[in-house]
Amino acid sequence: MMSNESPQSGLSFRQIFHPTDRAAREQAAFAHALKLTCLAQANLTIMHVGPEDFDDFPRVRPMLQKWGLLPEGSAKEDVTRLGMHISKVRALADHAAAAILRQLTLQPADLLVMSTHQREGLARLTHEAVAEPVARGAHVKTLFVPAGIEGFVSAQTGAVKLERILVPVARHPDPQPAIDAAVELAGALGAEKVLFELVYLGDETTFPKINKPAQPGWRWERLIAKGHAVDWIVAAGQDFDVDLIVMTTAGHHSVIDMLRGSTTERVLRAARSPLLAIPA
């Protein structure tokens, strides 16, 4: 477990966007968005789509106070002194995904942080999908945090645990952007001991050439597998207690993809850890 202290950030995010419906189970996604905003000294936009009052947004200062970054009774100006700026947007709309995409058109973001509700079968047909169509339409790096899990940032303390990162590797799309994003995040979060698991369906002779930065305490391992990509990625994440999955995604390429979802989307529906999707 790493410290609650924020190291000097190497994150490239300057505009972070977090849609929320204020459900208690979404506090984990908000905690991840706020932690990354602190580290990057970035601008965080929190958007709520619904009829509730403006005050129904997740509360920034109480969480920063719990983390020991602000004193009790702090003012809004104290948040700014931490190097970040918070803005809140509320929209009244019938379809949350469309409203969020419109806002992202007006105010582009470098990183989208979303909670996702993992539904399949009839439940998937009877609930409006939000996370997947937003990420697909925004073409922005997106960190998905499944509802009901803590993730790699503790909402209670702000402490970070990032020890195992799973990176699915394929010849297409190019896996290097996912490798670079995983390295950037691990470095910014001050992860001293990290195992990067590279999962590849194929054989050793066709493993793509990638650049793996070396750092003391970091290890790189290959998992060469055969079978179905989604099954292997999800199984690897569950079996090895992965803290984060990082994937390059190319979206929908076939009729089957459109009906069932891309590989990234299908992993997202089953994974029990946060997933960072990097547009190809």
Domain borders along the chain are 15-146, 164-279
Beta bridge partners of 43: 15, 85
DSSP assignment letter at 170:
-
Run of H or E including 275: strand 275-279
Cis peptide before 173 (omega within 30 of 0): yes
Cβ-based neighbour number of residue 129 at 10 Å: 17
pLDDT at 119: 43
Residue ranges of the chain with pLDDT lower than 50? 1-8, 24, 118-127, 252-260
239 burial type by CB count under 10 A (0-12 exposed, 13-18 middle, 19+ buried)? exposed
pLDDT at 122: 34
pLDDT at 241: 83
pLDDT at 85: 95
pLDDT at 35: 96
Spatial separation of the C-alpha atoms in residues 159 and 156, rounded to whole Å? 8
| In the block, residue with structure tokens 């998905």 | 144
Spatial separation of the C-alpha atoms in residues 265 and 260, rounded to whole Å? 9
Residue type for position 193? K
Residue type for position 234? V
Are 15-146 and 164-279 in the same CATH fold? Answer: yes
DSSP assignment letter at 118:
-
72 burial type by CB count under 10 A (0-12 exposed, 13-18 middle, 19+ buried)? exposed
- On whether the CB atoms of residues 37 and 8 are closer than 8 A, the answer is no
DSSP assignment letter at 105:
H
- Torsion of the alpha carbons at 194, 29, 174 and 196, rounded to the nearest 10: 10
Domain 15-146 fold: Rossmann fold (3.40.50)
Domain 164-279 fold: Rossmann fold (3.40.50)
pLDDT at 88: 92
| In the block, residue with structure tokens 């179905």 | 228
The 10s digit of each residue's pLDDT in 176-215 is 999 999 999 999 999 999 999 998 888 888 999 999 988 9
